Structure 1
Amino acid sequence: MSPLYGLQADFQSFLLRGDERMLDRVVGSAKVSVPRRLAIYYDAYRVRLIEALDSNYPVLHAWMGDDEFEKLGLAYLETHPSTHFSIRYFGHRLSEYLASAETYRDKPYLGQMAALEWAMSEAFDAPDSPVANLDNMASLPPEAWPEMRLALHASVRRLDLRWNVPAIWKAVQEEQAPEEPRAGAWPQPWLVWRQDLKIFFRSLSVDEAWAIDTVRASEPFASICEGLVEWIDAQNVALHAAALLKRWITDGMIANIAPGNQ
């Protein structure tokens, strides 16, 4: 091990675990002792990571309050230290941590709020790509529709939420008093996506959620129609599926329409 690598490893170990080997590698002064000098870096490292969490979870932070969010951030750091060179990705397992940690298991709505905000962050950071328009849809001949396949925009995210966290998110974002956390009888499908530079989210009916998942699986349009018969009359299913497609296109959610064999 090179001297530089050893120094870096000891410093990292100190920042992550408070390893005292670093005490012998730093020179103190009459004004600032070695422990105090190192504590500045130790604390600054944690403050910076909590700031990174705040940038991805601003509503969760506001909802929990500064003190509780800081406690959460420090506890999360102990379990899931930052491993990526960009702190943008620190916090990607926060919803998982909130769902499993003993301190937060009795508050499952916190984990679901984290899941919603992380989906929004991912949607915002997703790569840009052209989107289909209604002219692309209208130009397809009827014989091309059964084998037609759709590609969702990279920003589209699907999640299921049992708690009323979208309503709470909206209230906190608008600086209004949020309603009390409330669980539904069943998980509710939700959709998150970006159009231009704005994030949108909305709830989905069961049939639309199934259709979106089928699109993600690259199934042809005919398979979507066949599956939708579970909820829609067979005589109306093609029209219903076309209406869903029209809405997805209008919302900027379809990146590409690949026609089938003509």
Structure 2
Amino acid sequence: MPANIISVPREGQSAEKTRTAAPSLSEMQDAFQRAVMLGDDAVLNEILDNSRTDRNVLFGVYRHAYVARLIEVVRNDHPLLSAYLGDTAFQDLAKAYVQAHPSRNQNARWFSHGFPDFIADVRPSEPHVADLAELERALNDAFDAPDQETVKMSDLAAVPPESWADLIFEAHPSTHILSFSTNAHALWLALKNTETPPPVETRSEAENIIVWRHETTPKVRRMPYEEAMMWKEAASGVPFGGLCELVAVYDDPESAPMRAAQYLHGWIASGLLGKGLLEE
């Protein structure tokens, strides 16, 4: 609480009357919070000017610091988007987000979670910007996701061959499947490698990107269309026999079991599957 925020007798008031009218500490704290977060100026009535400046300037320091801190939170969560847009453009966008979305959570980690959706609303003609923000959000979420033991090849080896068709696989809690209409993944890769980003492209068919945490490191890669289709169905509970049938419809039916097995092997090797092998 600022040292300048006190209640003193007004001209013509008695000290006793002032004590009666003085707000409580909790009331002052609420007024201070409303002033910082919502722009409510009622608290200014309880702040004294000093010999060098007035109360508006004094309290403005707190308002500026609050906004600046939240902008920094957004920047820390989206460093590559910040590098892509440049400091000024990113700051303007983040400031608009702060003003439109006052913090509702004591944990700053979640403050910027709505940033990609906000960008999609305010910059609909630049979907690659929202896609970049969504990719960085997914990486942050993957890092913070709960721990869970992953499936190993030895787990599959213990399953009788006649039971394979009934196996249901569980996605690791850190996984996120994203579908982008732009080349946001290529932009992200270039920025991550401090290379010049390629020109923005719009995809005729959405590009599927899988994000997850392998051990302690967030990972990201593009998923071919067939694999992404199989992943989405597997994550929704379709057993392995059904997955093979779907893959057979997608492409050459004779090699479908082999393709499905190769995708499954890659998921296990990458740590994409949680320890949840079940039978239908």
Letter in 2 for 1:136: D
Q: Which residue of 1 is the match for residue 63 of structure 2?
A: 42
Aligned counterparts of 1:187 and 1:145: Cα–Cα separation in 2? 31
Letter in 2 for 1:22: V
Q: Which residue of 2 is the match for residue 26 of structure 1?
A: 47
Once the 2 structures are TM-superposed, how far is the Cα of residue 257 of structure 1 from its aligned partner?
4.1
1:171 corresponds to 2:175 = no
Q: Which residue of 2 is the match for residue 136 of structure 1?
A: 155
Letter in 2 for 1:152: A
Of residues 113, 118, 133 in structure 1, which corresponds to 2:132?
113
SS of the equivalent of 1:109 reads helix
Letter in 1 for 2:58: R
Structure 1 stretch 235-244 or stretch 249-258: which is displaced more? Answer: 235-244
TM-score, scaled relative to structure 1: 0.92
Aligned counterparts of 2:245 and 2:58: Cα–Cα separation in 1? 67
Aligned counterparts of 1:184 and 1:9: Cα–Cα separation in 2? 49
Q: Which residue of 1 is the match for residue 164 of structure 2?
A: 145
Q: Which residue of 1 is the match for residue 211 of structure 2?
A: 192
Q: Is the 8 A contact 1:145 1:259 kept in 2?
A: no
Letter in 1 for 2:232: D
SS of the equivalent of 2:194 reads coil
Aligned counterparts of 2:124 and 2:144: Cα–Cα separation in 1? 29
1:77 corresponds to 2:95 = no
Structure 1 residues 5 and 229, CA gap change in structure 2 (3 angstroms): farther
Runs of 4+ in 1 over 6 A off after TM superposition: none
Q: Which residue of 1 is the match for residue 34 of structure 2?
A: 13
Once the 2 structures are TM-superposed, how far is the Cα of residue 56 of structure 1 from its aligned partner?
1.0
SS of the equivalent of 1:161 reads strand
Residues 180-207 of structure 1, C-alpha deviation per residue, up to 9 Å, x if partnerless? 2111222111111111222211111222
The root-mean-square deviation of aligned C-alpha atoms, in Å, is 1.7
Letter in 2 for 1:133: K
1:208 corresponds to 2:227 = yes
Q: Is the 8 A contact 1:211 1:224 kept in 2?
A: yes
- In percent, how many aligned pairs have the same letter? 28
Q: Is the 8 A contact 2:132 2:188 kept in 1?
A: yes
Letter in 2 for 1:34: R
Q: Which residue of 2 is the match for residue 182 of structure 1?
A: 201
Aligned counterparts of 2:42 and 2:216: Cα–Cα separation in 1? 47
Aligned counterparts of 2:185 and 2:252: Cα–Cα separation in 1? 31
SS of the equivalent of 2:112 reads coil
Q: Is the 8 A contact 2:146 2:174 kept in 1?
A: yes
Once the 2 structures are TM-superposed, how far is the Cα of residue 46 of structure 1 from its aligned partner?
0.7
Aligned counterparts of 1:28 and 1:226: Cα–Cα separation in 2? 76
User: Higher relative contact order by CA 8 Å / sep ≥ 6: 1 or 2?
Assistant: 1
Once the 2 structures are TM-superposed, how far is the Cα of residue 5 of structure 1 from its aligned partner?
3.9
Aligned residue pairs, count: 258
Unmatched 5+ stretches in structure 1: none
Q: Is the 8 A contact 1:112 1:165 kept in 2?
A: yes
Letter in 2 for 1:9: D
1:99 corresponds to 2:115 = no
Once the 2 structures are TM-superposed, how far is the Cα of residue 110 of structure 1 from its aligned partner?
0.6
Of residues 62, 86, 89 in structure 2, which corresponds to 1:68?
89
Q: Is the 8 A contact 2:185 2:209 kept in 1?
A: no
Matches within 5 A, 1:181-260: 181-260=200-279
Unmatched 5+ stretches in structure 2: 1-22
SS of the equivalent of 2:218 reads strand
Once the 2 structures are TM-superposed, how far is the Cα of residue 33 of structure 1 from its aligned partner?
3.1
SS of the equivalent of 2:275 reads strand
Once the 2 structures are TM-superposed, how far is the Cα of residue 115 of structure 1 from its aligned partner?
0.8
Structure 1 residues 248 and 20, CA gap change in structure 2 (3 angstroms): same
Aligned counterparts of 2:252 and 2:191: Cα–Cα separation in 1? 41
Aligned counterparts of 1:3 and 1:206: Cα–Cα separation in 2? 62
